[in-house]
Structure 1
Amino acid sequence: MLTAAVYRCSIDVHRHLPTTRRRQVLAADAARFQVPRLQDDLSAPLTWRPRWATGRQADPAIHTTFTGHSGGLRAVAISALDNHPIAITASDDDAVQVWDIATGEQLTTFTGCGLVTAVAISALDNHPIAITASYRGTVRVWDIATGEQLTSFTGHTSPIEAVACSILDNDPIAVLASRDGTAGVWDIATGEQLTTFTGSGSGSVTAVATSTLDNHPIAVLASRDGTAGVWDITTAEQLSTFTGHTGQVAAVACTTLDSHPIAVTGAYDCTVRVWDIATGEQLTTFTGHTDWVTAVATSTVDNCPVAISTSMDSTARVWRYAIGRNHSPAAAGHSSFIVAASSSVLSGCPVAITASRDDTLRVWDLSTGYEVTTFAVSATAVACSTVDNHPVAVLASRDGTAGVWDIATGEQLTTFAGHNGWVAAVACSTLDNRPVAVTAGYDCTVRVWDIATGSELTTFNGHRGSLVGVACSTLDNRPLAVTGAHDDTVRVWDIATGSELTVFTGYAGSVTAIATGTLDNHPIAVTASHDETVRAWDIATGNELTTFTGSGLVTAIATGTLDNRPIAILASHDGTARVWDFATSEVLATFDFRFVGAVAVGPGGELMIAAGWDLIVLDRIAKH
């Protein structure tokens, strides 16, 4: 069962990859699901083998993933066409697409829809139809088989957030939820509005689905306040409320499971939840999306009931209830994107440190993957140092401060305050044998701090755009800071004197990432830009040494050595991480994931790749 789950988990990523890269993805997913024997079998021929991984986004309930839209998905509905289950999805790219659920194949596209905010399925004169609702309040009716628009009608004065279909007195009806907080019931054949009722909770209606309870037609209305309510369509009476989501409920669908009516909800907390409509009990939670869940629908595949969810992460996922109801994610970890990673040594053991949008910092035993400690803190970047031989983490924050934390105890030791705006990056160095931190902020300044005392030592001014990255190096025993900004420049600073030593220019876009390393014992800087180039620079001379253009938009860089060769790990917006030999411009390895948020090199040369919510640690096996 788990073998199939490992295969399905990232099928949209590995489906068309070359054999070795496909095996690399599957081996990493086996580690995320904690299936060691399968992990070992898949890893055996690989040069880079997963040591361990967290599995917060490894859910056996995933059946398949649709990719093809170029924007975030906002709506999904399910039907059958020629006895094949199909899904209809609507996206910010103004396209409505029809998919074969079993194969993942795209069948057709509806054009001329505009920005569709909701879609539903019904039948008119025994023909399957799709009903789309737009941001401008227009409702269109489509023949699913031909893609032809049959009719349209208007009536709501606010944007329509959702649409669902049902039968009332043997007539097909549509329930339209509007941003004005009401839901209207319409006769599809005549376009007549029959009744109106308001949503649950204190928020406006965001989504609607229909079902029956004790032979009475009902509507389930989702709300911006994180709840969903069940309403009797005939009487407009509210029957119950679902609570549990921690963000706006954006989507709802209804079906039956083991003859019980259930509701499936998707929310801005990135989860999909299943509820018993009769009792209001939450049955299970599906995790795996990395951005807002925007739509859900239900169907069957091979006689198994499934839920389909769409997300602003540009994917649609198919979930199996039977597994999801009795299974939790394979391994613990972060519950949102990992935005920063670093490493240190704690009591003689190497550890990984990760910061996430879930407002936690987690410390992991690099050897085993055991979570050592977690403490609650919001961070945009992390760097490590020592104070009096105690390992500390320096965390940059959106609130304009940076803090020093004791890695062993989770205690905050001091706070750096001075930036006027987000602190985007942090790096550590030493000055006169004292540990110092260098922070880069959106206020266009670079500041140097004494880590032990928290005092500000100096401020560098010179950038004309907000800072995005900082890294430290040394030149002739002088500590240096290398910074990059949205002014399309990289600048080198003498930390001791505060003087600007050189400026690297030539970019056709703002700088996105910076790291430092050495080449032939000379300090170098590796930089990435919005112009989709990665460049290596000689820090001493300011000369550009080499340029790499094959990785797309690079958002994070880490440096290290491999067989005495200088390498950079490039995290790209396309979901890949590449190992780049910056002396030769050769790509030594490519790793494929949906999202790569951070990369780091551990003290033993292991690679740490933050893939969405999960951390994957890889070892290189030397060739003999």
Structure 2
Amino acid sequence: MADATWAAVWGTGGTPEDPRLLRTLTGHEGWVTAVATAVVDGRAVAVTGSRDHTVRTWDLATGRQLHTPLVCRADAWTSTTAEVEHIATAAVDGRTVALLLERLGRQKRVLLLDPAKGLPAGECVRVVETAELDGLGAVLLTLEGDRTLRLWSVATGGEIGSALPARIVVGRHDEPVAVRAEAEGAVRTWNLAGQMLGEPGPASPADGPSGRPAEGSTDSPADGSTEGAALVVGGRLVAVAFHAVGLAGFLDGETAVAVVGELAAACGRRSGEVVPGSQVAEVDGRPFGLVRQPDGALRLWDRSARGETCGSDGDGWAVTTAALRGQRIRRPRDVDGQQDWTWQLVHPAAALDPTGAAATDPGGTALPAPVLVAGRAIRLTADADHAVRLRDAVTDVPLGERLAGHTDRIRAAAAMTTDGGQVRAVTAGLDRTVRVWDVATGTPVGEPLDGHTAQVWDVATAVVDGRPVAVTAGADHTLRVWDLAETDGPPLPAPGGHDAAIVAVAATTLRGRPVVVTAGADGTVRTWDAATGSPIGEPVATEAALLAAAEADGSPVVVTAAPDATLHRWDPVSGRATGDPVALPSGRILALATARVDGRGVAVTGGSDGTARVWDLTTGEPLGQPLTGHTSRITALATAAADGRAVAVTGSWDKTVRLWDLTTGRQIGEPLTGHTDWVTSVTTTVVDGHPVAVTAGRDATIRVWSLRTHRQLGEPLPAPAGAIRGTTATVLDGRTRLITADGTETLSVHDLTTGAGTASALTFPAPVHAVLATADGRLVVGHGRELTVLVPASPGGTV
């Protein structure tokens, strides 16, 4: 946490107490799916890819991000954004680069990133065709990620012809029949026999496709056209790239390439034939990758040697480059999976199939590259029952016993040599755990590293300040750095938390002691001693979407709302139900609060039918008539005492806030208007002795309303875009602070006394979905499946 105003007094789970966890890196807003490590300018770094469509570089010693995140490309035709599936690091020309395997639909491309600067360093281009053209010699046709076609001279390494944006006229069978592009200042149209249709015309923004069919074609062009790219040599069309629609072997939106005219004849193909591409070329019988660098140069990549993957100096495949001059190049056509060859040149792991699963062989799913143990090359494989097997990398003979422990598919693995010379294998899986194995003995080392609150997608190893570490990437949006030198000792004991995300928290008192009640997506409700963190009683097995605590007949009671539109009451000590479930006629319960009305404990519910209802917590009977007035579902609700009467404040999809007298069941005044989108959160507090309601909306504003004058106080406060997940208020040093959760790892803080946001913020290892300020000044935060309780570091902190 960056805010010194609060101090953590206890938390659930093993993560805060596990001595092996060195740090948690937060910043990604989606699943972290790929990670690789390297040493750049003498410091250990990690490069990560996420489903938030960004690539980030981290300093592993400090946990800070380096450089501005890179944003993946977006496709204008499909309105989708690419994701980075895998990351590797390699040495190229004496410097470290990161290689990113990016997927957009069925299209893959391999990008280079300079982690020292955080800038793109090149792109592996697809080889479409090679041929001998009269007067030009050997030529190479390539396709880049933005659908740009280029023709290269193998003899000189120079580019031939012009790459032009084009409009493609599509025929009756979804195949291109004509290409129109600007060339040499004029608009020209060709058919797919390479013949120009008509005379060149002047370029004009209003120019569209000619709409004329190709000569000799029986197809009539469709009304529409699609954007594409053309390659023109000496005024003649030789190739065209376009969005494939309905073509066999292509997904809609994928780039297809057709060779035209002289180039088609030189390749031994008919004009207009669609040609599959590859990410690898072959020189003298060896596979090479072609890389286009930012300066426009095309480079030839050769796999020169395989680096050791065990030990701190392993970089996987070593890569060197050479100028593209005088090389005999051809595109191999008889090898499956060519699109992955470039990746295999630089990544020590096995190639992946389109589903994202590792390619399998009779020996199981290959995980990391072989490691050396006592001079013997050993590789790891994962069996179908989620066990790990050691095999001789040369003979494929199994070694030792199966390493059983994971309960779901193993997603990734890495290896590292510790200070003592032991080789450790680290495996990560969809069971949310990371496990460490002694490769020499085939036995697990220590307890599982179970700090992640969701699936673990990737793992890499590194040396940070002389210490071997594992870096894991998870669907909980975090990276975690683990000390591999300390895995011989079990983690320190800590109270166990929920087995799934915490969705709601409440606070009450039990025999004079403050307690915290939590509801989790694991279908349990748990009670904790707010001071010590000790669990009280057994967990209550119930599915609770909402949670509140109150007092009924002098005893504490926990109130939960289930997804089946029923209200339940529980004894927080015994875990037993107090009374029968109450079936609510208002549809699904979307908001819940408790209050005291005329000396009795009541629950107030807001439903999907737009009504609020008041219930006696002792009898389970409704009190009065439903509170009607909203024209859409009630999504937020809070209670308060204002001018000596109990009131409820409701917020709705109808963009209004309404006040209700809980004694009479009547609305107080007119609806409070100002929000321009759904009201998603309501809390009540006191500002300078004045009772107020604070509401947050999907319009990215926070508004403060007087419960006495029924007017908005001050200007709206800014809020993160989207729905606020929860709000709570507390008083620190005489100022009322509003704390908001928006589903990220960070809680925002506003000073309601001044109306200004504060620079302080609270950051947690996992997204926060529940937050509550208790009556004695504690802040209760449910982040992921764990619970942390904080107290004000300042003596003036109260609620």
User: Which residue in the other structure is 2:434 paired with?
Assistant: 272
Show CA shifts across 1:87-134 (max 9, x none).
Answer: 232223444444443454536988877322122345689986655434
User: Which residue in the other structure is 2:725 paired with?
Assistant: 555
Counterparts of 1:412 and 1:377 in 2: how far apart (Å)? 10
Counterparts of 1:417 and 1:238 in 2: how far apart (Å)? 60
Counterparts of 1:122 and 1:286 in 2: how far apart (Å)? 28
User: Which residue in the other structure is 1:209 paired with?
Assistant: 368
Q: Greater shift after overlay, 394-403 or 118-127?
A: 118-127
Does residue 636 of structure 2 align to residue 469 of structure 1?
yes
2:108 to 138, 145, 148: 138
Counterparts of 2:446 and 2:345 in 1: how far apart (Å)? 24
Displacement of 1:618 in angstroms is 0.9
Gaps spanning 5+ residues in structure 1: where?
1-9, 15-20, 32-50, 167-171, 185-195
Show CA shifts across 1:592-624 (max 9, x none).
Answer: 22354433333334443445523223144149x
Does residue 795 of structure 2 align to residue 621 of structure 1?
yes
Indicate how the Cα distance of structure 1 residues 124 and 380 shifts in structure 2: closer, same or farther if over 3 A, else same.
same
User: Which residue in the other structure is 1:46 paired with?
Assistant: none
Show CA shifts across 1:438-487 (max 9, x none).
Answer: 22345544343332233455544554554432112355665432222333
1:106 to 66, 84, 87: 66
Indicate how the Cα distance of structure 1 residues 236 and 369 shifts in structure 2: closer, same or farther if over 3 A, else same.
same
Counterparts of 1:108 and 1:570 in 2: how far apart (Å)? 26
User: Which residue in the other structure is 1:440 paired with?
Assistant: 606
Counterparts of 1:81 and 1:489 in 2: how far apart (Å)? 54
User: Which residue in the other structure is 1:177 paired with?
Assistant: 352
Alignment of 1:8-47 (within 5 A): 14=2, 21=3, 23-24=4-5, 28=7, 31=8
Q: Greater shift after overlay, 94-103 or 404-413?
A: 94-103
Q: Greater shift after overlay, 52-61 or 535-544?
A: 52-61
Counterparts of 2:605 and 2:513 in 1: how far apart (Å)? 27
Show CA shifts across 1:525-574 (max 9, x none).
Answer: 22112333222213354311234525546432234566887664444556
Does residue 764 of structure 2 align to residue 600 of structure 1?
no
User: Which residue in the other structure is 1:90 paired with?
Assistant: 49
Residues 122 and 165, structure 1, Cα contact 8 Å, conserved in 2 = no
Indicate how the Cα distance of structure 1 residues 85 and 545 shifts in structure 2: closer, same or farther if over 3 A, else same.
closer
Amino acid at match of 1:528: A
Does residue 473 of structure 2 align to residue 310 of structure 1?
yes
User: Which residue in the other structure is 1:76 paired with?
Assistant: 35
Q: Greater shift after overlay, 576-585 or 347-356?
A: 576-585
Residues 681 and 725, structure 2, Cα contact 8 Å, conserved in 1 = yes
Indicate how the Cα distance of structure 1 residues 227 and 53 shifts in structure 2: closer, same or farther if over 3 A, else same.
same
Counterparts of 1:486 and 1:345 in 2: how far apart (Å)? 34
User: Which residue in the other structure is 2:414 paired with?
Assistant: 253
Residues 445 and 467, structure 1, Cα contact 8 Å, conserved in 2 = yes
Displacement of 1:329 in angstroms is 5.0
Alignment of 1:575-590 (within 5 A): 575-577=745-747, 582=752, 584-585=754-755, 590=760
Amino acid at match of 1:220: T
Show CA shifts across 1:508-530 (max 9, x none).
Answer: 33222111245687653221123
Displacement of 1:140 in angstroms is 2.7
Indicate how the Cα distance of structure 1 residues 280 and 543 shifts in structure 2: closer, same or farther if over 3 A, else same.
same
Displacement of 1:390 in angstroms is 1.5
User: Which residue in the other structure is 1:297 paired with?
Assistant: 460
Q: Greater shift after overlay, 529-538 or 90-99?
A: 90-99
Q: TM-score, normalised by structure 1?
A: 0.74
Residues 472 and 481, structure 2, Cα contact 8 Å, conserved in 1 = yes
User: Which residue in the other structure is 2:177 paired with?
Assistant: none
Does residue 495 of structure 2 align to residue 332 of structure 1?
yes
Does residue 669 of structure 2 align to residue 485 of structure 1?
no
Residues 636 and 650, structure 2, Cα contact 8 Å, conserved in 1 = yes
Q: Secondary structure at the match of 1:558?
A: strand
Counterparts of 1:102 and 1:523 in 2: how far apart (Å)? 47
1:57 to 7, 10, 15: 15
Show CA shifts across 1:387-416 (max 9, x none).
Answer: 222211112334443321101212122423
Residues 380 and 425, structure 1, Cα contact 8 Å, conserved in 2 = no
Amino acid at match of 1:415: P
Counterparts of 1:400 and 1:164 in 2: how far apart (Å)? 54
User: Which residue in the other structure is 1:344 paired with?
Assistant: 508
User: Which residue in the other structure is 1:43 paired with?
Assistant: none
Q: Secondary structure at the match of 1:322?
A: helix
Q: Secondary structure at the match of 1:74?
A: strand
Q: Secondary structure at the match of 2:557?
A: strand
User: Which residue in the other structure is 1:320 paired with?
Assistant: 483
Displacement of 1:141 in angstroms is 6.9
1:361 to 525, 541, 550: 525
Does residue 537 of structure 2 align to residue 373 of structure 1?
yes
Q: Aligned residue pairs: how many?
A: 558
Counterparts of 1:159 and 1:548 in 2: how far apart (Å)? 53
User: Which residue in the other structure is 1:286 paired with?
Assistant: 449
Residues 137 and 158, structure 1, Cα contact 8 Å, conserved in 2 = no
Counterparts of 2:646 and 2:380 in 1: how far apart (Å)? 65
Amino acid at match of 1:77: A
Residues 431 and 496, structure 1, Cα contact 8 Å, conserved in 2 = yes
Gaps spanning 5+ residues in structure 2: where?
74-81, 127-277, 280-334
Counterparts of 2:631 and 2:397 in 1: how far apart (Å)? 59
Indicate how the Cα distance of structure 1 residues 249 and 478 shifts in structure 2: closer, same or farther if over 3 A, else same.
farther
Counterparts of 1:293 and 1:497 in 2: how far apart (Å)? 53
Does residue 688 of structure 2 align to residue 529 of structure 1?
no
Displacement of 1:62 in angstroms is 3.2
Counterparts of 2:602 and 2:5 in 1: how far apart (Å)? 39
Amino acid at match of 2:562: S
Amino acid at match of 2:544: A
User: Which residue in the other structure is 2:570 paired with?
Assistant: 405
Q: Secondary structure at the match of 2:725?
A: strand
Counterparts of 1:159 and 1:495 in 2: how far apart (Å)? 67
Q: TM-score, normalised by structure 2?
A: 0.59
User: Which residue in the other structure is 1:120 paired with?
Assistant: 88
Q: Secondary structure at the match of 2:460?
A: strand
Q: Greater shift after overlay, 468-477 or 120-129?
A: 120-129
Q: Greater shift after overlay, 533-542 or 233-242?
A: 233-242
Counterparts of 1:439 and 1:252 in 2: how far apart (Å)? 49
Indicate how the Cα distance of structure 1 residues 178 and 52 shifts in structure 2: closer, same or farther if over 3 A, else same.
same
User: Which residue in the other structure is 1:453 paired with?
Assistant: 619
Counterparts of 2:735 and 2:94 in 1: how far apart (Å)? 68
Indicate how the Cα distance of structure 1 residues 361 and 481 shifts in structure 2: closer, same or farther if over 3 A, else same.
same
Indicate how the Cα distance of structure 1 residues 98 and 52 shifts in structure 2: closer, same or farther if over 3 A, else same.
closer
CA-based RMSD: 4.3
Displacement of 1:71 in angstroms is 4.3
Q: Secondary structure at the match of 1:373?
A: strand
